Amino acid sequence: MRLLIENAYVIPVAGDQFQGDIAVGDGRIIHLGPAGSVPEAFTPDETLDATGMAATPGLVNSHTHAAMTLFRGYADDLPLMEWLGEKIWPVEAVLTGEDIYRGSLLAGLEMLKSGTTTFADQYFEMDQVARAVEEIGLRASLCRGLIGIAPHADQALAESRDFIRNWHGAANGRITAMLGPHAPYTCPPSYLEKVLAAADELGVGLHIHLSETRTEIEQIQTEYGCSPIELMEKVNLFERPVLAAHCVHLSEADMEILAEKRVGVAHNPQSNMKLGSGIAPVARMLAAGITVGIGTDGAASNNDLNMVEEMRTAALLQKVGLENPTVLPAGQVLEMATVGGAKALGLAEQIGTLEVGKRADIVLWNLNQAHLCPLHNVQAHLVYSAGRADADTVIVDGRILMRGRRVLTVDEETILREAGCSARALVTRASSA
């Protein structure tokens, strides 16, 4: 399928902004340049008139738990450990594969409708998540969450291996897989050793929660006499590609390790705020040369999967935390939400910028609206003024998934109805268990 996007305000993220056209063929960007510059030999099957729209790379949600959309609004305003132990883990214990499929479809729909084209997910029954990703048409890096202190930890690792063998590179490469050790406080070094052996054998990276709360820092310090980051260095976790969610509480030594080992960090400002975890030192991490992407975390701790809002929160939170309005300017935040996330997921060669040769994951944002007028600075608008509903058209791998806000790949009404049924039944099962 050959697609021509005409007369957009193009923000490639790599290179200068311009008014012009983008040509897509075989799922890749084959040309971009000023209006009328597309070679005449290019004959599109479909042309999109993008007058009054900005074209950006699709947003990359670098950390979430998609199926947790089923728990949206179920348990709020509690401390992390109480929230997990008394509310979330009991409902997760009665989740079925079908629930996870429905919750993942709901999450995928929400992300698609807010301009997110790729997400990194850690959960259970990942076959069901992959099924949902395949159906909606998004791109995702998926891993099964591994709790080393749980009764069936070895079985979970075996499931991870099967999942990776079956799905890594599937859906025309839109699905990639990682191993997902949950966190240092749930995966002791002896278990991590097995996970790392599997990562080497399968040639995949790791997606882990690191240094999220002060409680975690204290617990690891008491048990191992070092920080979670130092502990992970000791077990050689960072000798493989690692996507580390949170990294809220870091020492200078921690930051040096993250920079030297090229760890990709997923910053989840709204989840950190809602759970009262703290403010991640994002400006300092970026200054130290660490790759930082932006994520929403699961919808039970956010409570939505809205990357547009997450960009604004990331910028504002650093500014207020450091009492400095110059940190995290709009352009840098947009980079984090696109190419930063792509790098953190190990996908920067394929996505994250609009460049010839990259996969065509493109969002067209409708700029012709009161809250985005006048157009002094479109990048600033996307970070400080835009809303998720400004995502008008979403293209992944050269395929149009949403056009004029109409989703073309799945039936929205069915997804909402089935997710609602699953969520209600879950709560009933959990309370009678």
Smallest distance, Zn ion to C-beta of residue 249, A: 16
Q: Nearer Cβ to Zn ion, position 99 or 297?
A: 297
Of 171-179, 291-299, 317-325, 371-379, which part binds Zn ion (CB under 5 A)?
A: 291-299
Q: Nearer Cβ to Zn ion, position 122 or 366?
A: 122
Spatial distance between the Cα atoms of 62 and 210, rounded to a whole number of angstroms: 14
Smallest distance, Zn ion to C-beta of residue 369, A: 33
Of 85-93, 249-257, 296-304, 328-336, which part binds Zn ion (CB under 5 A)?
A: 296-304
Smallest distance, Zn ion to C-beta of residue 246, A: 7
For 418, residues 6+ apart whose C-beta sits below 8 A from its C-beta are 102, 105
User: Site size for Zn ion, by CB under 5 A?
Assistant: 1
Q: Nearer Cβ to Zn ion, position 50 or 299?
A: 299
Smallest distance, Zn ion to C-beta of residue 145, A: 9
Q: Which amino acid, one-letter code, is at 175? A: I
Smallest distance, Zn ion to C-beta of residue 263, A: 16
Residue 250 dihedral angles phi and psi, to the nearest 5°: -130, 140
216 counts as binding Zn ion under rule CB under 5 A: no
297 counts as binding Zn ion under rule CB under 5 A: yes
Q: Can you tell me which residue has the tokens 């604004």?
A: 312
Q: Nearer Cβ to Zn ion, position 66 or 286?
A: 66
Q: Nearer Cβ to Zn ion, position 296 or 422?
A: 296
Q: Angle at Cα 342 formed by Cα 336 and Cα 345, nearest 5°?
A: 115
Burial call 228-254: b when 16+ CB within 10 Å, e when fewer: bbbbbbebebbebbbbbbbbbbbeeeb
Binding mask 251-290 for Zn ion (x = CB under 5 A): ----------------------------------------
Q: Are 412 and 109 in contact (CB under 8 A)?
A: yes
Report the candidate in 153, 201, 157, 205 with the shortest Cα–Cα distance to residue 178.
205
Q: Nearer Cβ to Zn ion, position 145 or 241?
A: 145
Smallest distance, Zn ion to C-beta of residue 228, A: 14
Could you report how far apart the first and last alpha carbons of the chain are, in Å? Answer: 51
Smallest distance, Zn ion to C-beta of residue 426, A: 19
Of 73-81, 220-228, 294-302, 425-433, which part binds Zn ion (CB under 5 A)?
A: 294-302
- DSSP readout, 85-136? IIIIHHHHTT--HHHHHHHHHHHHHHHHTTTEEEEEEEES-HHHHHHHHHHH
Q: Is 391 left (phi over 0), alpha (psi -120 to 50) or beta?
A: beta
Instruction: Provide the pairing of β-strand 291-294 with 362-366.
Output: unpaired
The residues in 220-239 that bind Zn ion, with binding defined as CB under 5 A, are none
Q: Nearer Cβ to Zn ion, position 11 or 265?
A: 265
Token code pair at residue 251: 């020492």
Q: Which residue is nearest to Zn ion (CB)?
A: 297
Q: Nearer Cβ to Zn ion, position 93 or 287?
A: 93
Smallest distance, Zn ion to C-beta of residue 207, A: 9
Q: Nearer Cβ to Zn ion, position 32 or 275?
A: 275
Q: How many beta carbons lie within 10 A of that of residue 256, not counting itself?
A: 14
Q: Where are the alpha helices (DSSP H) in 323-400?
A: 330-335, 341-344, 378-384
Of 6-14, 193-201, 295-303, 316-324, which part binds Zn ion (CB under 5 A)?
A: 295-303
Smallest distance, Zn ion to C-beta of residue 13, A: 25
Q: Is 334 left (phi over 0), alpha (psi -120 to 50) or beta?
A: alpha
| Contact positions vs Zn ion (CB under 5 A) | 297
